[in-house]
A and B are shown apart, each in its own frame.
Chain A
Amino acid sequence: EVDLDERLGELDLRNDSDIPDVPPPTDSTPEILKRALSGLSARWKNWWIRGILTLAMISAFFLIIYLGSFMLMLLVLSIQVKCYHEIITIGYRVYHSYDLPWFRSLSWYFLLCVNYFFYGETVADYFATFVQRREQLQFLIRYHRFISFALYLTGFCIFVLSLVKKHYRLQFYMFAWTHVTLLITVTQSHLVIQNLFEGMIWFLVPISSVICNDIAAYIFGFFFGRTPLIKLSPKKTWEGFIGGFFSTVVFGFIFSYFLAQYQYFVCPVEYNSETNRFVTECEPSELFQMKKYLVPPLLQAVLGWETVNMYPFQMHSIALSTFASLIGPFGGFFASGFKRAFKIKDFADTIPGHGGIMDRFDCQYLMATFVHVYITSFIRGPNPSKLLKQLLILQPEQQLSVYKTLKSHLIGKGIL
């Protein structure tokens, strides 16, 4: 019986250069493209494929935005599942562990559990009215944490029972790999959806800023690139980095100006239980109402204006763009390091010319968390609907006493 643990133990101790390469993925460029570009040299062919696919992805993005919040949620979910699949597949290839007992099922099971937990926590908040009406859902919501924990424990116990002699180390590696992947992909995707519910602009501007920074840094690097930025990614240059930063800030500023005018982008997404649809209609908050700002004397000379009409949100967009340009790339470097560590060229071959979904989303990792933390720290206070949900769970006597306290407070402030 082959002791894989022994072999793996030796693998862990050797230098990176001694580790065998992971077999490269197959080329999945569609036949049509290949024939259309068969005349060009390899370098231009690659450039054209990348360009066409970039346009295709951006168009798909606009299409989904047009289709609405629900489609966006589904899209985020699909991307999350595909990213998870890509990273897990790499783990299998690295450890040749595709045949480990139970492991494929367990990985997908854990993905399901964690998604169930997160969706239950967030979605229940937003669908409060829908949930109130149905008895079975009430039960699931009330004991949500317990049910999620029980589901997770089942997976944990099955893992322990599935441990096979001489494969222990491998199985623990895959267990850890699964959990770290869940931590990265699932939490990010849920934060993206929470940002989305805050208002589509909080979803669109950050993602566009990261994409813009990618493209702008590439173009600046192509034309002006000279000084290498970091050993991990030899093609990145300081000129690209700085040029990308300024372009992204300007882009974010202008893009926010356009989006802030439409209620469709600016209003929190709400679920209307009567029409059973998502609605984005509201009184725009003061973030999205034009204000007069005094231009600082320094810029007055440059621009020639004394005051300017801006949305307050545009100031926030500067913070978002700055993060996207300065810290976002670290997500990309992390992914580059990861690919070098495990000797893979791309995460997968899903998108011709670009690699896998993860290759496109590596810079977005940190952005979603940043936007979420930014919103909770600087924009909105605690979530009123969550508070309401908790109030309704209290015992009737407690509700009554809270009611009296609130009433006296509101009367004292003159609101009632």
Chain B
Amino acid sequence: QESESENKLDGETASDSESKSEFGGSPPVPTSDDTPEVLNRALSNLSSRWKNWWVRGILTLAMITFFFIIIYLGPMVLMMIVMCVQIKCFHEIITIGYNVYHSYDLPWFRTLSWYFLLCVNYFFYGETVTDYFFTLVQREEPLRILSKYHRFISFALYLTGFCMFVLSLVKKHYRLQFYMFGWTHVTLLIVVTQSHLIIHNLFEGMIWFIVPISCVICNDIMAYMFGFFFGRTPLIKLSPKKTWEGFIGGFFATVLFGLLLSYVMSGYRCFTCPVEFNNDTNSFTVDCEPSELFQLQEYNIPVVLQSVVGWKTVRMYPFQIHSIALSTFASLIGPFGGFFASGFKRAFKIKDFANTIPGHGGIMDRFDCQYLMATFVNVYIASFIRGPNPSKLIQQFLTLRPDQQLHIFNTLKAHLLDKGMLGSLEDA
């Protein structure tokens, strides 16, 4: 019993006894102890088990506090934080690749990896910036040209990197170089696309950024707590410390948390309004007429729940219904991202991605469950929430040729006539 609970306290990474048998022949990548001296001294009296628990706890609170501060500071700072997290995650995964393949001295490879990161970021940021900062871009001549030929420029930049890779191939190192090339590209695919989808979600409204991330964090913590107190049946061989009790308890707790958090946030414009760039003040503004998603409505409680809850109707924001979908995904599918990362760590015999956060490991260790969440939220919004943006469509319309404009106009007119919307306004 004692060793079991000790295993549980060690957190989500493999416990020491488990890892010893896995590591077998090749030694694990060593990680130094990064705990600050202050903490070390303050906790020097406690046994190592409780010390670990305290370090994790303090760092958890520190990270959550940091999260709130960033939210308070606004969208611009949030974007920068997302960018920094992305770069750090990329760096962590690439470093693992270097360690696995002992390829730190391969010619050009460090430079090329960072160069590709720059290219892909340039491409994505360029596309985003063109969409959201349309008027600003049109005003400044250099920006306008960069935006018009953006895809071509991005492709040319990427091609340069590709050609440099081909020219850098060295006899007897071909396989290693191709491995690192593949590793870099897969890492880019995971890390950079996710971070850009997060920024897209952010522009939709800060609530679409905060609620999903909080649900994943809540599910992590709740599944751990439920597992700690009630855990009995193992969930999956990959992560021996996860239990079905933790999984199910975490699910219900997260759905409830999502409902409450959405209720609190939906009341404030700074969270529910899309982030817009104001050309006159050259800053981000979050001000609008809240959409109907964020206006209280009466819902009839299904008869089944009426006896339980005692009310006939309830006033809720429609967004809260969506939050149930988000929380469900965070609890049921999000953990698969964590299992994927666990499998990855076992495959390459590492304990943590890095040692950036004392007690927790690397940035990737904290964000592994978030991988799929950002994509899901983005796909969810595109499919169920917003349609295309009318003003953006008008902008695109204005760049077409006159005959194309006429064709579209006539088709739209025919469509509206069909629907009977143009009845009283009929004038050729």
Residues of A within 8 A of B (CB): 3, 5-6, 9, 12-13, 15-17, 19, 142-143, 145-146, 149, 153, 156-157, 159-161, 163, 165, 168-169, 171-172, 176-177, 179-180, 183, 230-232, 327, 330, 333-334, 337-338, 340-342, 366, 369-370, 373-374, 376-378, 381-382, 384, 387-388, 390-396, 398-403, 405-407, 409-410, 413, 415-416
Contact = CB atoms under 8 A, between A and B. Distances in A.
Given A12-B100, A341-B178, A157 B333 contact: yes
Query: Chain B: interface residue count, which band?
Result: 35 or more
B95 interface: no
B151 A160 contact: no
B144 to A, nearest CB: 14
Interface stretch (B60-68, B215-223, B405-413): B405-413
B336 interface: yes
A92 to B, nearest CB: 16
A398 B344 CA distance: 48
Most chain B CB within 10 A, of A231, A342, A382, A391, is at: A391
A144 to B, nearest CB: 8
A377 B154 CA distance: 11
Contacts of A382: 396, 399-400
18 contacts: A6-B24, A16-B172, A142-B383, A145-B382, A157-B333, A161-B236, A168-B347, A176-B182, A176-B183, A180-B182, A342-B178, A376-B151, A377-B151, A381-B404, A384-B408, A387-B393, A394-B390, A415-B405
A392 B172 CA distance: 58
B343 A172 contact: yes
A399 B409 CA distance: 11
B407 A401 contact: no
A327 B166 CA distance: 11
A236 to B, nearest CB: 12
Given A342-B175, A366-B159, A387-B396, A179 B402 contact: no
Given A9-B26, A384-B408, A327 B159 contact: yes
Contacts of A413: 402
A229 to B, nearest CB: 11
Interface of B: 24-26, 100-102, 148-149, 151-152, 155, 159, 162-163, 165-167, 169, 171-179, 182-183, 185-186, 189, 236-238, 333, 336, 339-340, 343-344, 346-349, 372, 375-376, 379-380, 382-384, 387-388, 390, 393-394, 396-402, 404-409, 411-413, 415-416, 419, 421-422
B150 to A, nearest CB: 8
A400 B408 CA distance: 14
Given A16-B175, A149-B376, A400-B416, A387 B408 contact: yes
Chain B interface SS verdict (over half): helix
A156 B404 CA distance: 42
What does DSSP make chain A's interface, helix, strand, loop or mixed?
A: helix
Given A9-B26, A176-B186, A415-B406, A406 B394 contact: yes
Given A149-B379, A393-B388, A400-B421, A180 B412 contact: no
Contact of A409 (B102, B344, B398, B404): B398
B182 A177 contact: yes
Nearest to A8: B347
A179 B382 CA distance: 24
Nearest to A384: B404
Contacts of B102: 13
A394 B151 contact: no
A230 B16 CA distance: 50
B44 to A, nearest CB: 38
A160 B393 contact: no
